[in-house]
A = this chain, B = another copy of it.
């Protein structure tokens, strides 16, 4: 089992470049024989599942060290900037997972991570600092969509990676602001 970590890292890396990456390509990137790869994960789906779970677990550990108290707007700013790179690195892995994994599986794996954001949004709504005329689910979806969009812009060369964080923060705070706000 001493190659597990290398395999998961390679899976992350390869699928981030190309969601259709082959088992052979992943094995090569991990510095491992293709057969050995099947020794660890007996199918492509199982590999992708494990890689996604790994990425989300790492993300969760980063975010749980984050202080989300105080003004929800400032907390959201911190959350967005911290989440951004995680999303960027794993966006293509997620695309692969959407094609390979059964229906609800992705949502299940995301639950912890998503709950963290959801609670912050709900708190902001209750404190009257985030708009409440739109459902929390939609606000969540907005955040997801914008992060994906930013990653696409970077991939297309129309956005510099270091600009994405601040732009996301500025856009999301405006989108979440109360309809008639100063």
The residues of A with any CB-CB pair to B shorter than 8 Å are 20, 99, 107, 131, 133-134, 137-138, 141-142, 144-146, 148-150, 152-153, 156, 158-159, 167, 170-172, 174-177, 179-182
Tell me the bound Cα distance from A138 to B156 in angstroms.
12
> B residues within 8 A CB of A131?
174
How near does chain B come to A148, taking the closest CB pair, in angstroms? 6
> A170-B133, A175-B174 are known contacts. Are A159 and B146 too (CB-CB below 8 A)?
no
Determine the distance from Cα of A180 to Cα of B133 in the docked complex, in whole angstroms: 20
How long is the Cα–Cα vector from A146 to B175 in the complex, in angstroms? 11
Which one of A99, A131, A167, A171 has the greatest number of beta carbons of chain B within 10 Å? Answer: A171
Contact residues in B for A137 (Cβ distance below 8 Å): 153, 158-159
Query: What is the minimal beta-carbon distance from A154 to any residue of chain B, in angstroms?
Result: 10
Could you tell me the distance in whole angstroms from the C-beta of A139 to the nearest C-beta in chain B? Answer: 8
- Whether A148 contacts B145 by the Cβ 8 Å rule is yes
